Chains A and B, each alone.
Chain A
Amino acid sequence: MTANENRGRFDLLRDLLARSPLASRQRKATASEEDRAFIHWLSTAAGTVIPEPRAESVRTGKARLLDALAHGEARDGRKRLSRLPGRGVAVALAAVVLIAASLTASAASGKLDLMEDIDEVLERLGIDPVPGPSSYQREMPESDPPAGADTRDLTEPGSPELPALAEDGDNALSDQQDEPTTLQGGSAEEQSTATEQIAVSIDETGPSIAPPRGQSGGKPSSSSSHPGGCGHQNMAIGRPETPAAQRRLAPAQGQTSPSGTGNGEGRPPAQRPDSIGAERGKGVPALPARPADDRANRDPFKRDSEPHGTDYLPDSEEVRRGADAEPSGHRGQEPPTAEEGRSRVLGERS
C-alpha cells in the first residue's frame, strides 16, 4: 500500500466520520452553545431593559382596585354595563313618542291644516305666498295703500293688535251690526259686488271655523264678534290669529244668519282689504283708520261696553254698504230685521 493510497483512505474515513450522526450531534451542541450564550445575554439585557414599576403607581393601582371592589363593581359591573344602553334606548323611544304625540295633537287641532289652508287661499286669491316656513308668519309686502284703505297689518302673528282689531272692527260696525243685515241697502250692483267678494273669500277657505253653508254666519257674541266668513269686508277677510279670536269668530250654536250671503263656510282669508280691492279692482270700502293714540292706549283684552265707532261711519252710504256686507246676529235672540237696524242707526246718527 503506497502512501498515496493511505492518504486517500484517511480522507475517505474523515469524510465518513464527518457525515456520521456523532458529528452531527457535535455540531448541534456547538450551535446550542451559541444560542445559550445569546439567550443568556438576552435574559440579562431584558432584566435591564425593563425598569421596575414605581411603588407609588403600584399602590395607586391597588387602591383603585380595592376602591372599585368596595363600590361593588365586581358584583354589579355586569348588570350596569348591560343596563346602560337599555336606558339610553328607553330615553330615545320616549322622546320619539313625545314628538309623535305632539305632532298628532297639532294635526288634530288643525294648526297644521290651518297653515296649509292659508297658503292655498292666498294662492287662489292671486297673492304669491312668500316661500318660507309659512306665509302665515310673514309680513305683508310694503306697498302704497290705496286712498282710504286700512293700513293696519292684520297678518302679523301674535300681534297685540288682533283683539283690538276685532273689537275695533266691531266698534266701527257695532251700530251697523245692530241694524238690519239683510241686503237691502245700496244699489243692486253694489249688492252683487259685495256678495261676490264675500262668496269668493268664503268659498275658498276651509270649513273649520264657520258653520256649514247656508246655516248661519252671524256673530257669536254680543259685543265683539264677527260673522264667520261673511259680513263687513274688513272682518270678512280678516283671519283669526289666535284660538281666542277663532272662538270669538265662531258662530254660536243655534244661531242663524239673517243675511242671505251668510253661507258661513270656511275662514276668512288672510288678506288685507286694500289688496283685495286692488286685486279685484272693485274698490272694496276700507275701514277708516282710528287715531293712533286711541289705538295705543286701548286695552286689547278689555271688552268695550259702550257703543262707539259711529264716528268712523263716513256717511249713510258707507253704513249701508257695510251693513249689506255684514251678516250679523245676536246670541240667544232673534236678530233685528233690516228695517229695524237701519232705522236704529239712522236714529242714533241723527
Chain B
Amino acid sequence: MTSAVDRLGVSAACSCEEEEVIARAKTGDASAWTVLFDCYYPTLYRYAYARLRLREDAEDVASQAFMVALRGIHTFNYRGKPLLAWLYRVTRNLVAEHLRRRRSLGETFDRLRAGTVSPALAAPEDMVDAYDLLDAVSQLTKDQREVIILRFLVSLPTKQVAHILGKKEEAVCSLQARAINALRRQLADHSPLLETSSP
C-alpha cells in the first residue's frame, strides 16, 4: 500500500528536503509554500474529511490550516519531527472548532449523509459500507480513532503516525489492534441493518 503522498503523485522528496523547504518558507518564499501545499494539502484534506464527513468543509479546513501555518510558521522549529505533525495539530484544532460550531448550529445528520455522497461511491452497498465505516470510526476512543484515520484513511505509515501522535510505534500498533477489533465488532453489529437497508 502506497502512502498518500505517493498515491497523489507528489514528489516524496519533499519530506527529505523538508528542513530546507521550511527554512525557505520562513523567509516567505512562494515556491517553498507551493511545495508544502502540494505535499500536505491532500493529507490534511483526507483527515478533515474523515472527521467532518463533508467535502466542502474539509476543503475549507485544509485551506485554512495553511493560512494558519503561514501566520505561525515562525513558531515552528524543525527538530527532526516532520512538518506534517505540526500541520496535523493545526488541522485537528480547526476540525474541533468546526465541529463545535456545527453542534451549536444543530446540524442534522441528513446533511452529513447528503454531503458524503461521492461520485466514487457509485454502488449503494459501497455507500452504506462507507457510512457505517465512518460511523464506527467515530465511535472509537479518541486515540483509536486518530490511529485508524491516519493509518487507513490518510494512509500514513506507522512510523509517521507515531511521530504525529507523539507516541511510540509499539503504542500505535497496540492502539491499531484494539481499534480494529472494536471496528469489527461494531460492523458485525451493523451487518443485519446493512442487509435490510440495501436494495
Query: A43-B152, A51-B119, A61-B41 known; A73 and B177 CB under 8 Å?
Result: no
The reply on A65 being an interface residue by CB < 8 A is: yes
Q: Determine if A69 and B30 form an interchain contact, defined as CB atoms under 8 angstroms apart.
A: yes
Q: Determine if B45 and A53 form an interchain contact, defined as CB atoms under 8 angstroms apart.
A: yes
Q: List 8 A-B contacts (CB under 8 A).
A: A45-B130, A49-B134, A50-B153, A53-B42, A57-B59, A58-B41, A65-B66, A73-B70
Contacts of A57 in B (CB 8 A): 56, 59, 63
Q: How large is the interface on B (under 10, 10 to 19, 20 to 34, 35 or more residues)?
A: 35 or more
Q: Determine if B62 and A61 form an interchain contact, defined as CB atoms under 8 angstroms apart.
A: yes
Q: Determine if A68 and B67 form an interchain contact, defined as CB atoms under 8 angstroms apart.
A: yes
- Chain A residues within 8 Å of chain B by Cβ, number: 32
| A42 to B137 alpha-carbon distance, docked (Å) | 11
Contacts of A52 in B (CB 8 A): 120
Q: Determine if B70 and A69 form an interchain contact, defined as CB atoms under 8 angstroms apart.
A: yes
Contact among B71, B118, B148 with A51 in the assembled complex (CB-CB below 8 Å): B118
Q: Determine if A65 and B63 form an interchain contact, defined as CB atoms under 8 angstroms apart.
A: yes
Q: Determine if B130 and A48 form an interchain contact, defined as CB atoms under 8 angstroms apart.
A: yes
Contact among A39, A46, A74, A78 with B153 in the assembled complex (CB-CB below 8 Å): A46
Q: Determine if B133 and A39 form an interchain contact, defined as CB atoms under 8 angstroms apart.
A: no
Q: 8 Å CB contacts to A: which residues of B151-192?
A: 152-153, 155, 177, 180, 183-184
The reply on A54 being an interface residue by CB < 8 A is: yes
The reply on B100 being an interface residue by CB < 8 A is: no
The reply on B129 being an interface residue by CB < 8 A is: yes
Q: Determine if A53 and B184 form an interchain contact, defined as CB atoms under 8 angstroms apart.
A: no
| A314 to B116 alpha-carbon distance, docked (Å) | 100
Contacts of A347 in B (CB 8 A): none
Q: 8 Å CB contacts to A: which residues of B53-67?
A: 55-56, 58-59, 62-63, 66-67
Contacts of A54 in B (CB 8 A): 55, 59
Q: Determine if B37 and A65 form an interchain contact, defined as CB atoms under 8 angstroms apart.
A: yes
The reply on A60 being an interface residue by CB < 8 A is: yes
Q: Determine if B152 and A39 form an interchain contact, defined as CB atoms under 8 angstroms apart.
A: yes
CB-CB contacts of B73-109 with A at 8 A, as 1s and 0s?
Answer: 1100000000000000000000000000000000000
Contacts of B1 in A (CB 8 A): 43
Query: A57-B59, A68-B67, A74-B71 known; A49 and B184 CB under 8 Å?
Result: no
Distance from B69 Cβ to chain A, minimum over Cβ atoms (Å): 9
Which residues of B does A touch, CB under 8 Å? 1, 25-26, 28, 30, 33-34, 37, 41-42, 45-46, 49-50, 55-56, 58-59, 62-63, 66-67, 70-74, 118-121, 126, 129-130, 133-134, 148, 152-153, 155, 177, 180, 183-184
Q: Determine if A53 and B133 form an interchain contact, defined as CB atoms under 8 angstroms apart.
A: no
Classify the secondary structure of B's interface with A.
helix
Contacts of B183 in A (CB 8 A): 38, 42
Contacts of B59 in A (CB 8 A): 53-54, 57-58, 61
Distance from A63 Cβ to chain B, minimum over Cβ atoms (Å): 10
Q: Which residue of B lies closest to A39 (CB)?
A: B180
Q: Which of A50, A60, A73 has the most CB of B within 10 A?
A: A50
| A61 to B69 alpha-carbon distance, docked (Å) | 13
Q: Which residue of A lies closest to B118 (CB)?
A: A51
Kindly list 13 other residue pairs between chains A and B, CB separation below 8 angstroms, not including A39-B152, A42-B180, A70-B30. A35-B180, A46-B133, A49-B50, A49-B153, A50-B153, A54-B55, A58-B59, A61-B59, A64-B67, A73-B70, A74-B25, A74-B74, A77-B70
Query: A42-B180, A64-B63 known; A51 and B49 CB under 8 Å?
Result: yes
Contacts of A74 in B (CB 8 A): 25-26, 28, 70-71, 73-74
| A53 to B41 alpha-carbon distance, docked (Å) | 9
Q: 8 Å CB contacts to B: which residues of A69-91?
A: 69-70, 72-75, 77-78, 81
Contacts of A45 in B (CB 8 A): 126, 129-130, 133
Q: 8 Å CB contacts to B: which residues of A146-192?
A: none
Q: Determine if A66 and B30 form an interchain contact, defined as CB atoms under 8 angstroms apart.
A: yes
| A340 to B42 alpha-carbon distance, docked (Å) | 108
Distance from A79 Cβ to chain B, minimum over Cβ atoms (Å): 10
Contacts of B126 in A (CB 8 A): 45, 48
| A39 to B50 alpha-carbon distance, docked (Å) | 17
Q: Which of A57, A60, A70 has the most CB of B within 10 A?
A: A57
Q: Determine if B133 and A42 form an interchain contact, defined as CB atoms under 8 angstroms apart.
A: yes
Q: Which residue of B lies closest to A76 (CB)?
A: B71
Distance from A54 Cβ to chain B, minimum over Cβ atoms (Å): 7
Q: 8 Å CB contacts to B: which residues of A188-208?
A: none
Contacts of B41 in A (CB 8 A): 53, 58, 61-62
CB-CB contacts of A20-61 with B at 8 A, as 1s and 0s?
Answer: 000000000000000100110011011011111110011011
Contacts of B25 in A (CB 8 A): 74
Contacts of A65 in B (CB 8 A): 33, 37, 63, 66-67, 70
